[in-house]
Each structure stands twice: as structure tokens, then as C-alpha cells.
Amino acid sequence: MPAQNGYRIRKPAHIAFMSIPAHGHVNPGLGLVSELARRGHGVTYAVPESFAPQVIEAGATHIGYETMLPTGEKGDEWTTDYLEAANMFLDEAIAVVPQLRAAYQDDVPDVVVHDIGAQHAPVLAACWGVPAVSLSPTHVAFEGFEEVFGIGHEVDGLATHRAEFQAFLDRYETGLDYESMMRPPNSLVTIPRSFQYCGDRVADDVIFAGPMLTERAFQGDWQPPTGKRVLLISLGSAYTNQPEFFRDCVRAFGDDPSWHVVLTIGKHVDRAAIGPVPEHFEVHRWVPQLRILSYADAFISHCGMGGTMEGLYSGVPIIGVGQLGEQYANAARIAELGLGVHIPLEEATSESLRAALERVSTDAAIQENIAAMRAEINAAGGVRAGVELIESALATSSSPEKPTRV
């Protein structure tokens, strides 16, 4: 058993990643997958079939299962209602636990690394008697979190949800409770601490590693035109049915050929609904976002945390046009930290978008703040910090003959 970073680890270890079927939850951990595979660990990744190409390219063996969550393949979309979402995640966990117990019964992992939305994962780890590492692509809970974000006990039906959640945990004799699921130990966060709301109130043992990004050849390549500034516009992958917003973008920037504009419209909008665009525009359903951001001078984003971190990692000022919950919070945080401008989507017009682009591209303070945030991200540890936490958890894992309740 060789020693690494002071820990004695059985190698190659079997490290099982688990996530929900959403780009903003799968993509942030792919760099970690690649590094662990490079170090010789056996990495599996349990996620629905539509995400198999990227996890395989990252170096993992794909483990598929049937999901109840929206994938966008049948026109389904994520709910914006807090309680509906909470019940959806619980229903998913109830359905997925037996599927993955069967899938892993012949090769139980040594550690489970899981997205915070994959609520089946801590249950499986407890059943197998192995440690779990939580991977959060967004703000984590802290003392008073519910009050700050308006998620309180006053939500109708929340008490029933918590009781059903606890009954699910008790069914598998996990020893877990609702609070420990919301504030897990071994917590790894892919944002810098300064971006976290009330970061000084988050437990000291939470590791803010910053984004752990990697090359994404599966998304394709992109090269910028010569002599033009680049503006990327994206509303992410889920809530993209906003044809009027996209038309506003064309009206806002269509008469300024000094900018090359890449407009991403997703799968829910008919391209014809956008209308004609000038020569300095590209319109696509999907783009290699991280590649384009490496050349971009500004980013109009819905401010999902994945895209937000990709923009800040790339040193690009952001115009946030959030539509709901976390997106509003991220866009507001961007404005608060002087990293860009916040325009709620319902207030976005061609005039306000044009003014925001002028500001983020000329404001010296924003440029300085972006540079400082990029430096903090580079110093946060990234993949290295993530690997250290996982390998320390491996040191506490049971022996190869560990008992399981599969």
C-alpha cells in the first residue's frame, strides 16, 4: 500500500463518481475524473446514457441507469418550484439506489464521489460501508443558509418531504439523517471561497477547490476571427426557450461589427424564430463553451454556476441574465463583487444589453476584479485539492474484504 500525501492507499482503488443528468453538475468534476484515472485509479461514473461520451472521454467507465429526472430529450424541463424539485430528487434517489446496488454488486467501490444532487450516492456509500465525498458545483449550506435564501420551514409540504426523506434513509439502515445529507462531511466545492455567499460562515473543513476544468474535445473546436472582440451569449442547456431575448441580442449588437457574436440558443427554440443575423454573428444550438471563453472578451450568461465558473476561470467579465433561484443569486454575486453586471432576464432589452456590454468592456475596476478572481481560482488548488481530499478519504476506506449490505 503506497503512501501519497501522507495517506496509505490501496491502488488501484475503485472510485465511483455519481451525478445527476445535467451539464452543470457533470462537467465540473470531469477534470477530477481525468486526474484520478491518470494516477492509476479505476474510475467508474454512474450517470444516465446521454452523458456517457464525456465521462468516457474523461477516463471513466460508464455505468448507466434509468432516470426520472428531466434530460431534455422528451421536451421535459426542470421545475422552478423548490418543493417540487426536492420531491423530484427524492423520487430519483428511491428509484436509483436499487439499480446501482445491482450494477456495482460484483465490484463495490472504495469511495463514492458524488454531486450534491445525487442523493442516492450517500445512501449507497453507507450501504457499502465506504466513505463518500460530496462534490458541490455551487454554494454550500451554512448556518442560517435557509434564512438567507428564503428556504424556510414555512414552505407548505416541506415537513412531509423531510419525513419521507428520513424514512427513505432509515429503510436502508444507513445511520444518515436529513441534516447530514444537507451538510455532508468530506465536502469539495468547485467555486472559490470568496464567491460563496457568507463564506466566513461555512465550516472550515469544507474544501473550496475552485473549478476543476479540463479540455473537452468531445464538444469540438472553435477559432476566433482575426481582429474582432468576441462576445459569447448563452442561457445554458435547460431554460433556453427565450426567442425574444435572443432577438434582443441581435438588435443590441447587430450594428456593431467590431464584435464577433456567438449566440447559443439550445434545443428548445426554432432557429427561424431568431430571424436573420448579420455576418458577424454565429448562431448555434450548442458550442464548445470553454474553448470559446478562452478567446472571449465578454460573456452574457444565465449564470448557472458551471458557466459562471468557466467565465471567471477564463478571465471574462460577465453580464448575468438570471431567470430563477441560483441564477439570480450568482448574477447578483457577480455584480456585488464587481465582476460584471446583473440584468434579470425579464428586464433585459436591446438597450440595457448594449449598455452592459459597453460597461464590462471598458470599466477598469471590473477588469481588475476579474484578474484578481482569476488569480484566486488558480491558487485555490483545483484538481490537486480534490485528489488530496479523495485520497485522504480512501485511507479511511475498508479493506478489500470490506463488508457490504448489497
CATH number at residue 49: 3.40.50.2000
Q: Which amino acid is at 150?
A: G
- Note whether 227 and 129 are same-domain residues: no
- Structural domain contains residue 288: yes
With the CA atoms of 326, 116, 43 and 309 taken in that order, what torsion angle do they form, in degrees rounded to the nearest 10?
20
Work out the average pLDDT over 3-17.
67
Inform me whether the pLDDT recorded for 208 exceeds 60: yes
Q: Based on the domain organization, do 224 and 293 belong to the same domain?
A: yes
φ, ψ of residue 371 to 5 degrees: the values are: -65, -40
Residue 191 and residue 123 in one domain = yes
Please, which pLDDT band fits residue 125 given cuts at 50, 70 and 90? very high
Question: Within this chain, do residues 37 and 185 fall inside the same structural domain, yes or no?
Answer: yes
Asked if 168 and 221 sit in the same domain, the reply is no
Among 53-57, 142-146, 366-370, name the one with the lowest average pLDDT. 142-146
Q: Are residues 153 and 240 in the same domain?
A: no
Whether residue 172 is found in the same domain as residue 53: yes
Q: Does residue 370 belong to any structural domain of this protein?
A: yes
pLDDT surpasses 70 at 401:
no
Are 383 and 32 a contacting pair, CB within 8 Å?
yes
Alpha helices in 78-171 (DSSP H): 82-103, 120-128, 145-148, 158-171
59 with 132, same domain? yes
pTM of full prediction above 0.75: yes
Task: Check whether residue 252 and residue 373 sit in a common domain.
Answer: yes
Say how far apart CA 129 and CA 124 lie, in whole Å.
8
Q: Does residue 404 fall inside a structural domain?
A: no
Backbone angles phi, psi at 80, to 5 degrees: -100, 0
Domain presence at residue 12: yes
Give the number of other CB atoms < 10 A from CB of residue 372.
Answer: 14
* Domain assignment present for 22: yes
Query: Of 288, 135, 113, which Cα lies nearest the Cα of 211?
Result: 135
228 and 195 within one domain: no
Closest CA to 219 of 53, 336, 43, 33: 53
- What range does the domain containing 201 cover? 3-210+380-394
Give the closest residue to 18 by CA, choosing from 89, 91, 114, 149: 114
Tell me the per-residue pLDDT of 255-307, one tens digit each, with 9 for 90 and over.
999 999 999 988 778 888 888 999 999 999 888 899 999 999 999 999 989 89
Q: How far is CA 380 from CA 211, 249, 291, in A?
A: 9, 35, 22
Within this chain, do residues 183 and 258 fall inside the same structural domain, yes or no? no
CB 262 within 8 A of CB 232: yes
Count of domains forming the chain: 2
In a domain? residue 399: no
**Residue 21 domain-assigned (yes or no):** yes
